[in-house]
Structure formats: structure tokens, C-alpha cells
Amino acid sequence: MKTLAKVLGAILIGLVALLLVLRITGLGPHQRIPGLWLKGELVTTPVTDWSFTDAHETIQIQTNTWYWLPHSVTTYCNSYNGQLYVTSVYRAGMEYPKAKNWTANVARDPHVRLKIGDKVYDRTLQYVSNPELRAAVLAVKTKKYPQQKIAKDSTVNIFHVVENQ
């Protein structure tokens, strides 16, 4: 029994040490591989014009999981009328929001951290349901990413980036 307690204690100490190292290093996402914490210079001032993001092919989003560890991914973004939007495309047969961890996390807790270049922004994502706005944002996204083809039977979720609420 004492041996089991020692082994479990050593495993617990090792996991805590690993989490501390990962917290310090960040371990952000890399291309299609998700990560944990996003590191960078924190911007706390409001952003009135997000059009600078048009120069960035991708951004990173850190969401909050139910088990207290962050989950971060690399995704596409586009600005429309100075506002920032991120999208998530679900091919036919994929169930929103369960099929993607980051959108399931946003559905539960919309507070996110965005990394754009070397800066990070704590913001909130709001689901866009207005059909006219959705069409306009998708039209701008199509111009920014002409190589992306969205199948007609796909479900496209659009999120508006807003100040924390």
C-alpha cells in the first residue's frame, strides 16, 4: 500500500511539474495540431478597427475547457467593416458544436484569447445569426481565402469578436 501511494504521489508531482513547465512555455498550437496557453504581448486597450488582421493568414484562439486546461487552435479570420470574425466550417455529418473542441468550448464559455502576430487579446465571441451579415462576412472571407472551397452541404458558423462582457 505504501508503494502504491509513493508511485501515485510521484505521478501527481510529475504532472504538476509538467503543467508548470507547459504554463511557462505556453505550448501554443502548431498548424493543425492544437495547443494549450497562448503567449504574447497582452493588449488591453479596445480595438476599433480590426482590418490589420487582413495581413494575417491565420490567428490562434485559446478557449476554456471544462477541465481547467486551455485548448488553443489555429484558424482563419477576416475583418468586415472594421470588425473581426472567425468561422468554423462543419462538413456534412459533423455535429455542431461537438465535432470541434474549440467550438464546443465557445458554446459553453464564449471568453477567448486571440493571438494575432505576437500580440494577444482577451475577447468574447458572439455567434452571428443575422443572414445578411453572415452573407457579407462569407463574401469577404471568400475574397481573402479564394483557395478555400466550402461545400454546399457544409454548416458554417460565424463568430463576431467583441470586447469582453
pLDDT digits (tens, 9 = 90+) for 50-98: 999 999 999 999 999 999 889 999 999 999 999 999 998 887 777 665 6
Has domain 29-162 been given CATH number 1.10.132.20? no
Q: CA-CA distance, 2 to 64, in Å (whole number)?
A: 37
* Domain definitions of the chain by residue range: 29-162
In tens, the pLDDT along 114-165 reads: 999 999 999 999 999 999 999 999 999 999 999 988 888 888 899 999 998 7
Q: Which one, of 157, 143, 163, 165, lies nearest residue 44 by Cα? A: 163
For residues 156 and 138, the answer to whether their CB atoms sit within 8 Å is: yes
Q: How many whole angstroms separate alpha carbon 122 and alpha carbon 114?
A: 6
Band (pLDDT 50/70/90 cuts) for residue 99 is low
